[in-house]
């Protein structure tokens, strides 16, 4: 009987420790939609108050990728792809879970399992 209890206790402890180590993540895809190319794809661990913008900044900085921020809440450039802030013929668009963003990257706090897409697009207007 003691062996069975010890085995059950050991299994419970293993399951508890396995669950404690799992941190919530969101998936990020940065792409050049003009040339149909994925530039960067990564998962980021979510921490309290981290925004999509801060997680992208962290990734780009860690990987030595130059970028600029426009108007404090939008991507101006990533690498050599820069939006046309004068005519808006090309720009960086954001999508959260497949929907066009109505909130900038630094205003959006991702949840577990979110898909954040940042796409370099041509204007259709």
Taken in order of first residue, the domains within the chain and their CATH numbers are 23-122 (2.170.130.30)
pLDDT for position 16: 47
Rounded Cα distance between 111 and 109, Å, is 7
pTM, 2 dp = 0.80
Examine the pLDDT at 85 and tell me if it is beyond 90.
Answer: no
Cα 56 to chain centroid distance, Å, stands at: 6
Rounded Cα distance between 56 and 110, Å, is 12
What percentage of the chain exceeds 70 in pLDDT?
A: 83
The stretch 18-37 carries a mean pLDDT of 87
Q: Please name the residue that has the structure tokens 């497949």.
A: 98
């Amino acid at each position: 009987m003691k062996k069975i209890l010890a085995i059950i206790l050991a299994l419970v402890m293993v399951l508890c420790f396995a669950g404690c180590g799992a941190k919530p993540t969101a998936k990020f895809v940065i792409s050049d939609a003009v040339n149909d190319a994925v530039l960067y794809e990564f998962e980021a661990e979510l921490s309290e108050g981290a925004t999509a913008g801060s997680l992208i900044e962290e990734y780009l900085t860690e990987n030595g990728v130059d970028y600029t921020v426009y108007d404090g809440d939008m991507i101006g450039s990533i690498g050599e792809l820069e939006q046309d802030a004068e005519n808006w013929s090309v720009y960086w668009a954001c999508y959260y879970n497949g929907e066009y963003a109505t909130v900038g990257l630094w205003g959006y706090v991702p949840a577990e399992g979110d898909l954040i897409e940042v796409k370099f697009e041509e204007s259709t207007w």
